[in-house]
């Protein structure tokens, strides 16, 4: 079938489906082509994020936190529970139910906005009469040919493979396998102490696995503010029992079916570890294979990312790219904001995505979140700054929640008082970080945050105190 559209979006993840909805809202006839096949063997919209990323991982994090709390925390509240057990298949089924609900919801949203939803693998074929020609194939057979004035590439990313080890999602797992284990492994190995390694390692640790995380870098969470990273490392290792080894050089990995061995070097010593399951989470690579970049002369860099300018425009006319397939952090909210901005730019508007104010969250317990510059970055850039820190230990709401652990650190320009970075570890800081995002976006001073009335008792009072502390007038510190 041959179809004509103003805009065709390739990829139905948080970048692609959001771009398609916004384009349709702006009056363009729009199609969204997505190839993802979900766990139930059917097309499933929402990309990595909804199917095998953000959403299912957070569902399992919550289940594992509940299990842990029932075993270790309820007694402090005077609640006695006996015989607490974990039914892993039931936990996975709940997670799958959330995924089904949300992926189905995207189909509904596309329909509501009159976006044509096409299933299949899209590839760029040619340019005819100033319009792009895109073929859509299922099982290698072309089922649709789409002609469009604009193409938005939102093909996302996939796990970066570790040379010499094949992921079978039975013994050696990527994110998909890590989210679908049917029982708690006694010994779980993780390669890479990044976001996935920490989140998935925490889930299975709380459910009872012995977890060892092997990280190549000598520095823990190098992208985070190092004061917060150090506190996190202490909490995860000393309090929670995660075995995190830094500065490791991975050697031979042998998948023996029912177990896996990992040879590695640590501080010049050769070691051999044996695990029942191994998660490989060493970053992700962009999906540009098979996209037909060569057919149309699309510029792709040596790592496979589509090359774009600050407006997500590629080297080709009316061809755009967003999300994980282009430079910048691989985050769902970054992908969505780029999608909105591209649709609006196609409509002649002048949108702007502020890359300096994109929040990061790591959903461990306690959570880690930040926005803006770290103290290390400010030092390296020679920017004079002042800082204020405050802890959750004496916060009434955190104590009530039984999560009175963590710190908020606020960094502001020494001369202008403008907020430059906000860094946190603590309960629900995924929500609190938005106050920092607002401060950065509105170019607020730390004094502005210090003078805003924060509800009492609330976790946000710790942000307030950190802002007061930046001016050396903390009330409770």
Per the CB < 8 A criterion, the answer to whether 408 and 464 are in contact is no
Q: x/- site string to ligand FAD, residues 304 to 323, per CB under 6 A?
A: -------------------x
Element (H, E) at 261: strand 260-266
Give the DSSP letter string of 138-180.
ETTEEEEEEEEEEEEE---EEEPPPTT----SSSEE-HHHHT-
> Tokens in use for 298?
């699309």
User: Is residue 337 part of the contact set for ligand NAI (CB under 6 A)?
Assistant: no
Dmax over Cα atoms in the chain, in whole Å?
74
Which partner in ligand NAI, ligand FAD, none is near 197 (CB below 5 to 8 A by kind)? ligand NAI
Q: x/- site string to ligand NAI, residues 156 to 175, per CB under 6 A?
A: ------x-------------
Interface pick for ligand NAI out of 67, 363, 370, 392 (rule CB under 6 A) = 363
Pick between residue 137 and residue 216 the one whose CB is nearest to ligand NAI. Answer: 216
Interface pick for ligand FAD out of 21, 32, 35, 124 (rule CB under 6 A) = 35
Ranges within 174-203 binding ligand FAD (CB under 6 A): 175, 196
Per the CB < 8 A criterion, the answer to whether 301 and 307 are in contact is yes
Q: What is d(CA 255, CA 225) in angstroms, rounded to the nearest whole number?
A: 36
Q: What is the CA radius of gyration of the chain?
A: 24
Interface pick for ligand FAD out of 30, 117, 157, 365 (rule CB under 6 A) = 157
Q: What is d(CA 317, CA 151) in angstroms, rounded to the nearest whole number?
A: 9
Q: What is d(CA 333, CA 335) in angstroms, rounded to the nearest whole number?
A: 5
Instruction: Please indicate if the annotation marks 391 as binding a ligand.
Output: no
Pick between residue 89 and residue 283 the one whose CB is nearest to ligand NAI. Answer: 283
Query: Total residues at the site for ligand NAI (CB under 6 A)?
Result: 24
Q: What is d(CA 329, CA 48) in angstroms, rounded to the nearest whole number?
A: 15
Which partner in ligand NAI, ligand FAD, none is near 47 (CB below 5 to 8 A by kind)? ligand FAD
List, in sequence order, the alpha helices (H) in 248-331: 293-296
Give the residue numbers marked as catalytic: 456
Q: What is d(CA 109, CA 14) in angstroms, rounded to the nearest whole number?
A: 13
Interface pick for ligand FAD out of 14, 366, 372, 427 (rule CB under 6 A) = 14
Binding residues for NAD(+): 192-199, 215, 283
Binding residues for FAD: 58, 155-157, 324, 330-333
Residues forming contacts to ligand FAD in the complex (CB under 6 A) are 10-16, 33-36, 47-49, 53-54, 57, 121-122, 154-157, 175, 196, 287, 291, 323-324, 330-333, 335, 363
């Amino acid at each position: 079938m041959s179809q004509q559209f103003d805009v065709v979006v390739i990829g139905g993840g948080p970048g692609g489906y959001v771009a398609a909805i916004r384009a349709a809202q702006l009056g363009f006839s729009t199609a969204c082509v997505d190839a993802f096949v979900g766990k139930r063997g059917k097309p499933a919209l929402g990309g990595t994020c909804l199917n095998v990323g953000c959403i299912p991982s957070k569902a399992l994090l919550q289940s594992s936190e509940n299990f842990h709390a029932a075993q270790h925390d309820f007694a402090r509240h005077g609640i006695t529970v006996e015989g607490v057990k974990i039914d892993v298949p039931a936990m996975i089924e709940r997670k799958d139910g959330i995924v089904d609900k949300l992926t189905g919801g995207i189909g509904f949203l596309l329909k509501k906005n009159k976006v044509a939803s096409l299933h299949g693998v899209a590839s760029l074929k040619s340019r005819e009469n100033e319009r792009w020609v895109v073929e859509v194939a299922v099982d290698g057979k072309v089922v649709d040919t789409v002609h469009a004035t604009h193409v938005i590439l939102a093909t996302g990313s996939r796990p970066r493979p570790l040379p010499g080890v094949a992921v079978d999602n039975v013994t050696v797992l990527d994110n998909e396998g890590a989210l679908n284990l049917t029982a708690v492994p006694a010994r779980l190995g993780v390669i890479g102490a990044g976001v996935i390694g920490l989140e998935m390692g925490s889930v299975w640790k709380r459910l009872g696995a012995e977890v060892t995380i092997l990280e190549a870098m000598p520095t823990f969470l190098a992208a985070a503010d190092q004061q917060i990273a150090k506190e996190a490392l202490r909490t995860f290792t000393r309090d929670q029992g995660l075995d995190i080894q830094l500065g490791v050089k991975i050697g031979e990995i042998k998948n023996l079916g029912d177990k896996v061995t990992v040879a590695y070097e640590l501080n010049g010593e050769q070691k051999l570890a044996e695990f029942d399951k191994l998660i490989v989470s060493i970053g992700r690579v962009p999906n540009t294979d098979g996209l037909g970049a060569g057919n149309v002369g699309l510029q792709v860099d040596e790592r496979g990312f589509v090359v774009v300018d600050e407006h997500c425009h590629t080297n080709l006319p009316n061809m755009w790219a967003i999300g994980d397939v282009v430079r910048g952090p691989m985050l769902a909210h970054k992908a969505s904001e780029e999608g909105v901005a591209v649709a609006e730019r196609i409509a002649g508007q002048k949108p702007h995505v502020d890359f300096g104010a994109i929040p990061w969250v790591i959903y461990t317990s306690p959570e880690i979140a930040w926005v803006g510059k770290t103290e290390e970055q400010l030092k390296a850039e020679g920017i004079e700054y002042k800082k204020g820190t405050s802890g959750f230990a004496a916060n009434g709401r955190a104590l009530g929640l039984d999560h009175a652990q963590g710190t908020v650190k606020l960094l502001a320009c020494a001369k202008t008082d403008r907020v430059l970075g906000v860094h946190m570890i603590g309960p629900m800081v995924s929500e609190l970080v938005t106050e920092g995002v607002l401060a950065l976006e509105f170019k607020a001073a730390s004094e502005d945050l210090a003078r805003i009335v924060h509800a009492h008792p609330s976790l946000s009072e710790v942000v307030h105190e950190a802002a007061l502390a930046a001016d050396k007038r903390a009330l409770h510190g």
